Amino acid sequence: MEKINAVITGIGGYVPDYILNNEELSRMVDTSDEWITTRVGIKERRILTEEGLGSSYMARKAAKQLLQKTGVDVDTIDCVIVASTTPDYRFPSNASIVIGKLGIKNAHGFDVSCACCGFLYTVDMACAFVQSGRYKRVMVIACEKMSSMVDYQDRQTCVLFGDGAAAVMVEATTEEGVGFQDSFLRTDGQGLPFLHMKAGGSVCPASHYTVDHRMHYIYQEGRTVYKYAVTSMSNDVKEIMQRNNLTEADVNWVIPHEANLRIIEAVTKRLDIPMDKVMINIERYGNTSAASIALALWDFEKKLKKGDNIILTAFGAGFVHGASFLKWGYDPQ
């Protein structure tokens, strides 16, 4: 029996039209373009400003582009997995909303919450479904409306985050030399004190007190998160390279979570991987959490070639972290 591989066969993306640049932010909080650019490498971020629209709207936009590019019949999709920390509602899932809006009839779907590792973890799950033979075609969508939980009075965090979504199709193939090869994923479990939202969950439900005390926004201890991110991402990439006998010369692209340019530079320096092999779009989109790696793939798709060795790596709240190795499956049109 031939081995079944799981391969990405297409990618779609969406970012909102509205651009929140550093100049505008500097009129909202005590900051400047120089301060932001020097510390995190971000010039602008996209924000979904239309009232009544959430992350599932962007997910649908990305998914529709993916379907148009691949020509896939929605009736042939077996499963839809959505990665998001900012779903439209506590329930139902974004996946159910997307499935309903797109008219997908023969799939089940669910959401995954893994913070900034959402795409990395969700694609690994989709690959497991496909490689097991259970499904032939899984749609993975990563979508975030980070602006919905950013405190625009907090200059430490409001400069970091943006909104966006991207979607990939993961399919079965018996072709050799393409598809996902290996993943190294870990959950540390020690990150709660350093990165979380204080209220809105079952421990501290929403109330007048939590709203009045601005407890429904991102809380982050930046220095701790920075140190953890650099260490975990660089170690995870080293692990995946060693396990697969890869040298720096073998790697065509590294696609890191787009959290902070200084983090990305520190990680690649530890790995001795030149920056011209690293996909970076944080300057234009900021940190889009679960969507960031997928948006980078979408943004740089035309630079990819079939057979390229690609390493994905991310970290996020929890703490969660990991790296994956794949061989790209197609030449862009």
Phi, psi of 105 (to 5 degrees): -105, -25
* Annotated active-site residue in 22, 79, 114, 116: 116
- Let me know: does 144 contact 164? Beta carbons within 8 Å: yes
> Degrees (nearest 5) of the Cα angle 255, 300, 42?
70
* Annotated active-site residue in 257, 281, 309, 321: 257
Three-class SS state of 161: strand
Name which of 170, 157, 149 is nearest 286 in CA terms: 157
The distance in angstroms from the start CA to the end CA of the chain is: 32
State how far the alpha carbon of 250 is from the alpha carbons of 225, 244, 284, 288, 332, in Å: 30, 10, 29, 29, 21
Lookup: tokens for 232: 């975990």
Distance CA 77, CA 212 (A): 45
The torsion of the CA quartet 297, 267, 193, 91, rounded to 10 degrees, works out to 10
* Annotated active-site residue in 5, 281, 287, 309: 287
Active site residue 257: yes
Q: Which residues contact 286 (CB under 8 A, 6 or more apart)?
A: 42, 44, 45, 46, 146, 159, 160, 161, 162, 258
Distance CA 216, CA 219 (A): 9
Active site residue 309: no
* Helix locations, the chain, DSSP H: 22-26, 33-40, 55-70, 94-102, 118-131, 155-158, 208-212, 222-243, 261-271, 282-285, 292-299
Name which of 110, 36, 101 is nearest 67 in CA terms: 101
Active site residues: 116, 257, 287
